[in-house]
Amino acid sequence: MDLAFMASTMLTLVAALPMTLALFSLSVVFGGLLALLVVWMRVGGNPVARGFAKGYIFVFRGSPLLIQMFLVFYGLGQFGFIRYSVLWPALREPFVCAVLSLSLCTAGYTAEIFRFGLRSIPAREIEAARAVGMSGFLLTRRILAPIAFRNALPAYSTEVMMMVKSTALASLVTVWEVTGVAQRLIAQTYRTMEVFLCAAAIYLILNFLILQLMALLEYRLNPHRRAAPLFPVAPQ
Amino acid sequence: MTILQTIGFGPTGWGGLLLVATLMTLCVTAAALFIGMVLGTLVAWAKLSGSRIARSIGSAYTTVFRGVPELLIIYLVYFGGSSLVTAAGAAFGYQGFLGMPSFVAGALAVGIISGAYQAEVYRGAFLAIPMGELEAAQAIGMNRTLRFRRIIAPQVLRFAIPGIGNVWQLSLKDSALVSVTGLADLMRTSQIAAGSTRQHFLFFIVGGCLYLVLTSLSDRVFNGAERRANRSMPAGIGQA
């Protein structure tokens, strides 16, 4: 194994890391917001909205992300009303298409995760909140959202890790992130193993850091599950 | 040409090719599931074994192949495999590049990924067997093979069915990535059809619908299998 080659490969790949991080963070944010909307429709009382949300979740979880991405990237440009609309300067950018399809796809998975978080709230806690007069937004803000998010967090961290891996598909619509650059290096040098090891190391470190952050968040959000401190009042 | 002619089965339609491609996707996924079953069993065994070396090899396998993008693993197997095949060809006197068949590379790559997920499924299923049953089997004098065949394997398979169903769905969607190696699966054929008719939207919608048919049908199959495997068990929470 050639250490000089590995070092230069690593530098080339790390240069593409900001693109991966940009794809990842934008689609986690937009996907999360969209998921909130979908889960609101899914658990709400309106049967039309519920049916739409069910359909959305079925379609985006049941088909591969790659075909969704190609549909957005190649498919939308075929319609004149999109090509001549104000959105076209954005939608012709591969980066925007990649973020759009990543967000749409993750929203389907995340909505399901949030829904299970909601379902795991004990009914008596909601009853208690209603008994003291909370309803609507106050109930959501004080009781539903915090408990549901806390319960959904372990499954949500898995989904966030999947998102890191999914950004690799953006290379197939010509966004040059880490996997795309790795593929170009492999095709140029035919040193598959070295390039793979470098790229794999980047993704594993990234995933490890994200999981640590999520674990920290889980720890911070679950003070009631920690053992009581030995000295409730700090000794003077 | 109307839409029905384009996606239909006539001489100018893509329907037949798309159906063959759907079968190809099923075949790749089934081969991958089988490869993953073998790898997953071995890795689960390593992770459950007493040896520290085996345990760390098992954990490294599941961490790496669940943490690295699927596309990267497909590139590794396809390009790495091709250079191995080329080297083997050179040893037998063939000069020049030999590609690895894309079906083999795809099934192997998706199988390696699927193996990492299946290992966790089997490990969880093994841990779900009540300790007392293993002790009872030992107490009446069953040896290791008999205990595996009569007590462990049937229960692990039963507990693992929902997990295997999830892994199958995951592999079905991962198999779309094999299209980058040129295998004429559903993804690749939709892409070719879209490119040559300039009807990208139509063909990616049709391809997506065929994937939805595959995923929802396999959901039914696995639910049925779960019901069948649990038919002698008392109904509990969370059973289909």
State the Cα–Cα distance between residues A56 and B216, nearest whole angstrom: 14
Does a structural domain hold residue A116? Answer: yes
Q: What is the pLDDT of residue B218?
A: 94
Of B64, B72, B176, the CB nearest to A67: B176
Domain total of chain A: 1
Q: Which DSSP state fits A1?
A: -
- Chain B interface residues (partner A, CB cutoff 8 A): 63-64, 67-72, 75-76, 79-80, 83, 172-174, 176-177, 179-180, 187, 190-191, 194, 198-201, 204-205, 207-208, 211-212, 215-216
Chain A's closest residue to B173, CA to CA, is A64
DSSP string for residues in B155-180:
HHHHHHHHHHHHHHHHHHHHGGGGGG
pLDDT at B31 over 90: yes
pLDDT band at A161 (very low <50, low <70, confident <90, very high): very high
pLDDT at B8 over 50: yes
Which tops the pLDDT comparison, B92 or A128? A128
What's the angle, vertex CA A161, arms to CA A159 and CA A167, rounded to 5? 100
With beta carbons under 8 A apart, name residues in chain A contacting B180: 172
Of A71, A161, A172, the CB nearest to B204: A71
pLDDT at A205 over 50: yes
| Residue of A192, A198, A210 to mutate when probing chain B, most B C-beta within 10 A | A192
Q: What is the pLDDT of residue B94?
A: 78
Chain B's closest residue to A210, CA to CA, is B67
pLDDT band at A78 (very low <50, low <70, confident <90, very high): confident
CATH architecture of B12-229: Orthogonal Bundle (1.10)
Alpha carbon distances (Å) from A159 to A13, A77, A182, B8, B105: 24, 30, 24, 38, 27
Average pLDDT over residues A167-173: 94
Of A70, A77, A169, the CB nearest to B71: A169
pLDDT at B236 over 70: no
State the Cα–Cα distance between residues B181 and B125, nearest whole angstrom: 35
- The number of angstroms, rounded, from the C-alpha of B35 to the middle of its chain's C-alpha atoms is 8
Does a structural domain hold residue A21? Answer: no
Which tops the pLDDT comparison, B28 or A3? B28
Average pLDDT over residues B113-140: 93
Average pLDDT over residues A185-190: 88
Please classify residue A67 by burial: count the beta carbons closer than 10 Å to its beta carbon, then call 0-12 exposed, 13-18 middle and 19+ buried.
Answer: buried
Does a structural domain hold residue A168? Answer: yes
pLDDT band at A57 (very low <50, low <70, confident <90, very high): very high
pLDDT digits (tens, 9 = 90+) for B185-202: 999 999 999 988 888 889
Q: What is the pLDDT of residue A22?
A: 96
- The number of angstroms, rounded, from the C-alpha of B217 to the middle of its chain's C-alpha atoms is 16
Chain B's closest residue to A207, CA to CA, is B67
Q: What is the pLDDT of residue B90?
A: 85
Q: What is the pLDDT of residue B55?
A: 94
Does a structural domain hold residue A24? Answer: no
Residues 6+ apart with CB under 8 A from B71: A168, A169, A171, A172, A179, A183, B177, B180
The CA-based dihedral angle spanning residues B62, A58, B20, B3, taken in that order and rounded to the nearest 10 degrees? -150
Q: Which DSSP state fits A236?
A: -
Of B69, B70, B208, the CB nearest to A63: B208
**Sequence ranges of the domains in chain B:** 12-229
Both structure tokens of B176: 């779309």
Alpha carbon distances (Å) from B98 to A186, B73, B92: 16, 20, 12
Percent of chain B with pLDDT over 90: 66
Which tops the pLDDT comparison, A77 or B155? B155
Percent of chain A with pLDDT over 70: 96
- The domain that holds A169 is classified in CATH as 1.10.3720.10
Contact between B176 and A66 using a beta-carbon 8 Å cutoff: yes
Chain mean pLDDT for chain B: 89
Buried b (16+ CB within 10 A) or exposed e, A124-138: eeeeebeeeebeeee
Q: What is the pLDDT of residue A76?
A: 86
Which tops the pLDDT comparison, B85 or A198? A198
With beta carbons under 8 A apart, name residues in chain A contacting B179: 66
Chain A's closest residue to B179, CA to CA, is A66
Interface size between A and B, measured as CB pairs under 8 A: 114
Of B71, B172, B216, the CB nearest to A168: B71
Residues 6+ apart with CB under 8 A from B7: B13, B14, B15, B18, B202, B203, B206
State the Cα–Cα distance between residues B205 and B194, nearest whole angstrom: 10
Q: What is the pLDDT of residue B52?
A: 93
Contact between A187 and B79 using a beta-carbon 8 Å cutoff: yes
Residue A221's identity, in one-letter code, is: L
Chain B's closest residue to A208, CA to CA, is B67
Residues in chain B: 240
Q: Under the phi-then-psi rule, with left for phi > 0, alpha for psi from -120 to 50, and beta for the rest, what region is A174?
A: left
Q: What is the pLDDT of residue A227?
A: 74
Q: What is the pLDDT of residue B230?
A: 83
Q: What is the pLDDT of residue B235?
A: 63
State the Cα–Cα distance between residues B226 and B240, nearest whole angstrom: 7
State the Cα–Cα distance between residues A104 and A61, nearest whole angstrom: 10
With beta carbons under 8 A apart, name residues in chain B contacting A74: 194, 200-201, 204
Helix axes B15-48, B153-174, angle to 10 degrees: 140
pLDDT at A235 over 70: no
pLDDT at B182 over 80: yes
Contact between B75 and A78 using a beta-carbon 8 Å cutoff: no
* pTM reported for the whole predicted model: 0.88
pLDDT at B240 over 50: no
